[in-house]
Chain A
Amino acid sequence: MGFTEVRSFNFRNLENLRICPDTKTVLFVGENGQGKTNYLELLYILCFGSSFRTRRDPHFIRHGMKEMSLQGTLETRDGGQWHVKVQVRQGKKDIFLNDKRIIDRAELLSLSPCIVFSHEDISFVNGSPDTRRTFFNQTVSICEPIFIDALRTYKKILKARNAALLESREDLLDIYDVQLIQAGLSIMSRRSETLEEFNKLLTPLYKEISALPEEVSVLYRPSWPVGSDEKVLKEYLKSKREVDKERGVTVTGPHRDRFSVTLGKVDFNAAASTGQTRLLSLVYRVVQAARYLEKTGKPPILLLDDVLLELDASRRIRFLERLPEYEQAFFTFLPDEQYHRYRLDDKKVYTLVNGRAEEG
């Protein structure tokens, strides 16, 4: 069912809001600058407890105000009804689930994650190694929240190891090497298994939507030698220790893993047009959603921010046809877009004027 009610108070430039979407598809239609993206951000925050646009929570608050809150009622397929509340007060964010404060926002993940399609997704294809890792970390985490813990543990060990490097503590580095390898190996195996499944969905989907013959796939290129066991990696880290000490940071490990994209036999980013790159970033999200559905049996909530604009008419239709089954989908459109032509059943349209959403 998805969101049946959403309320906001002092959120960005939106007028205090109460909408009851209760349809499978919801369309926010408005000119640029009417805060279309804010509506999707609001839903995203209710799903994850944090934004996809800013890491700093106080930025949610309307200018000049001291606090804000968002509330949503979410109905899940198994008949569950959840009330999620996210508030920022005195610079502190709190998340409540059915009126109980939760400490780890990863708890929200098991409810109903949403998948957001946005312009910035292009950097998952052609951006820095760090940005690309973020996407695949997310792809694993939404299906297996325990991966978040694995990443947190790894990061903690890495930080301690880097501190030991600065002090040239050989005795401690021997220990941190063991811990880093154990934590790192479990991250690598999750990444490589995930990538295999990811490509199985990605290659055919990209072909179908783009109507181009080339095969696209993502290549996982771990920083540590592929296939090494704990013993081999211990020697490997030891051989890199002098370099690590010189730089004052650990230069190898899963925090330096890379993901590259191939188009046929060549590097995708060298060969593809901007249009192809944008399309691939959309297909990334479709695969993320499809994989979530496949793994958990639960259809996700989709948030699509103006993304159809970037596709030509026939690709738009093929793209919409190949969206995986979803619990609920929220689209933003410009007023002159022929959105009524898309086959989107059971829909509600909100027109956005001056930060207000009016039905119809």
Chain B
Amino acid sequence: MTVLERLIQNLSRLPGLGRKSATRIAYFLLNADDAFNKNLAGQIEGLKSSIRRCRVCGNYTETEICGICSNPSRDHSLICAVEQPQDILTIEATHEYDGIFHVLGGVISPIDGVRPEDLNIQELVRRVGQGDIKEVILATNPTVEGDTTALYLAKLLSSSGVTVTRLATGIPAGGDLEYADRTTLARSLRGRTPLSY
């Protein structure tokens, strides 16, 4: 196998890239100038050594404590528990949330060998036990495993005195009822809220 073929093979392992796109990228790199390639290679090489998990919430960060946890203007009495660091990005992009986060690192699924003790759950209980927290928002995905994890946390936190809420699920805004999948529609029917004006 040639160097080029090996590169294409590795690139096509990246999420969302098929062999065709991987080939295009490989040829692009072949024709790109040396500085660009060196820079890119350096960035990939240094990724894991310069980025680590936040000591408090588990988010990706370049400092010991991430920008969200160390921001004094955020509401530190409100914790949103998410499955993965990527979920923080998604929620941050809404600019609607000014609390802090907690990354669980996955969902409970014994079939896949993931048990509560494999997740960042004890640390969440410890944070809540410190007394400054008023509400925990459970933002796991609306899947069977996401529900299991949310229920598990709700039970675990029930004696702590904090309010525990679950992210509402429903029809995407601007979405057409006709195109919402059946399960989403059924869920949003169950979780419907009163409307007043």
Contact = CB atoms under 8 A, between A and B. Distances in A.
Interface in A148-176: 149, 153, 156-157, 159-160, 163-164, 167, 169, 171-172, 174-176
Interface in A327-342: none
Contacts of B145: 160
A1 interface: no
A157 B144 CA distance: 7
A178 interface: yes
Contacts of B63: none
B147 to A, nearest CB: 6
Contact of B186 (A146, A160, A164, A176): A146
Contacts of A159: 111
B124 to A, nearest CB: 15
Chain A interface extent, by class: 10 to 19
Contacts of A37: none
B183 interface: yes
A179 interface: yes
Nearest to A149: B183
Nearest to A145: B182
B85 interface: no
A146 B111 CA distance: 25
Contact of B182 (A149, A169, A175, A179): A149
A175 B155 contact: yes
A156 B186 contact: no
Interface string B144-187: 11011001100100000000000000000000000000110010
Interface in A168-203: 169, 171-172, 174-176, 178-179
A169 B115 CA distance: 10
B148 A160 contact: yes
The SS class assigned to the A binding surface is helix
A172 B111 CA distance: 12
A149 B186 CA distance: 10
B16 interface: no
Given A149-B182, A171-B152, A160 B147 contact: no
B99 interface: no
A358 to B, nearest CB: 43
Contact of A175 (B115, B152, B183, B186): B152
A101 B155 CA distance: 42
Contact of B116 (A145, A157, A163, A172): A172
B15 interface: no
Nearest to B182: A146
B183 A160 contact: no
A171 B121 CA distance: 14
A164 B186 CA distance: 28
A178 B151 contact: yes
A149 B184 CA distance: 11
- Point out which of A157, A160, A167, A179 has the most chain B C-beta atoms below 10 A from its C-beta: A160
19 contacts: A146-B182, A146-B183, A149-B186, A153-B183, A156-B144, A157-B144, A160-B109, A160-B144, A160-B145, A160-B148, A163-B110, A163-B111, A167-B115, A172-B116, A175-B108, A175-B148, A175-B155, A179-B147, A179-B148
When A and B form their complex, which 9 residue pairs have the shortest distance between CB atoms, in order from nearest? Answer: A163-B110, A146-B182, A156-B144, A175-B151, A149-B183, A163-B111, A175-B152, A164-B110, A175-B148
Given A160-B111, A160-B148, 4 more contacts: A145-B182, A156-B144, A157-B144, A175-B152
